[in-house]
């Protein structure tokens, strides 16, 4: 089934944000990529902020679905965290999503419209809550050992993964991502 115009606009905006950030893309870029007039983009999303909010909502929905899938399919909490990291390894290697759009937008946070900042914040809350729950389950199952409370460790882990994405982008190699994330996982592994 062919995606509808609004979905194609969202997919294109997601890709542009992941590759360029908020400030570096315009509706002209989207209209060219989707092969529609700029007025059609505005018909679906009145403002750039409206569009980016919808991109972030869809990104967060995929995150929730993916983490629920990991929770259902992988009993071992350490293996769940490894699967999360491996997802990003595949994205970086395959150039399908070289960077988490919420993390990328977080770097631009002071210059973003309020509604976009709120969506970035919600994404980080959602991701850190899942990591925290996973870490708490890992401690209970004796597969993770934490040096700090799980809430703090979740923030550290999330920052390390996002920082590893940034380093991979700078160096143009997956190796640095793998090195940083492997160290992050070893740091909390009780095995």
Distance (Å, rounded) from C-alpha 10 to C-alpha 127?
A: 21
Span 143-155, mean pLDDT? Answer: 97
How confident is the model at residue 119, as a pLDDT?
A: 97
Residues 40-70: tens digit of each pLDDT: 999 999 999 999 999 999 999 999 999 999 9
Structure confidence by residue, pLDDT tens digits, 176-188: 999 999 999 999 9
The pLDDT, as a whole number, for residue 187 is 95
pTM (2 d.p.): 0.93
* CB crowding 154-165: b at 16 or more within 10 Å, else e: bebbbebbbbbb
- Structural domains of the chain ordered from first start: 49-188 (1.10.357.10)
Q: How would DSSP label each residue in 11-71?
A: HHHHHHHHHH-STT--HHHHHHHHTS-HHHHHHH-SSHHHHHHHHHHHHHHHHHHHHHHHH
CA angle (17 as vertex; 104, 115 as ends), nearest 5: 75
**Dist. CA 106–CA 152, nearest whole Å:** 19
Angle at 184 between CA 18 and CA 132, to 5 degrees: 80
């Amino acid at each position: 089934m062919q995606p509808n115009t609004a979905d194609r606009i969202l997919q294109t905006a997601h890709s542009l944000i992941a590759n360029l950030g908020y400030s570096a893309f315009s509706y002209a870029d989207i209209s060219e990529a989707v092969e529609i007039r700029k007025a059609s983009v505005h018909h679906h999303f009145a403002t750039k902020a409206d569009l980016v909010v919808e991109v972030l909502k869809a990104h967060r929905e995929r995150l929730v679905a993916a983490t629920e899938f990991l929770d259902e399919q992988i009993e071992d909490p350490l293996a769940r965290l490894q699967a999360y990291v491996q997802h990003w390894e595949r994205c970086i290697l395959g150039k399908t999503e070289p960077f988490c759009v919420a993390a990328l937008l977080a770097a631009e946070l002071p210059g973003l419209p309020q509604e976009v900042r709120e969506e970035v914040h919600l994404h980080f809350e959602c991701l850190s809550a899942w990591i925290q729950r996973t870490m708490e389950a890992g401690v209970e199952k004796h597969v993770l050992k934490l040096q700090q409370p799980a809430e703090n460790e979740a923030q550290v882990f999330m920052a390390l993964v996002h920082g590893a994405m940034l380093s991979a982008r700078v160096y143009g190699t997956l190796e640095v991502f793998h090195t940083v994330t492997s160290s992050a996982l070893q740091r909390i592994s009780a095995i």
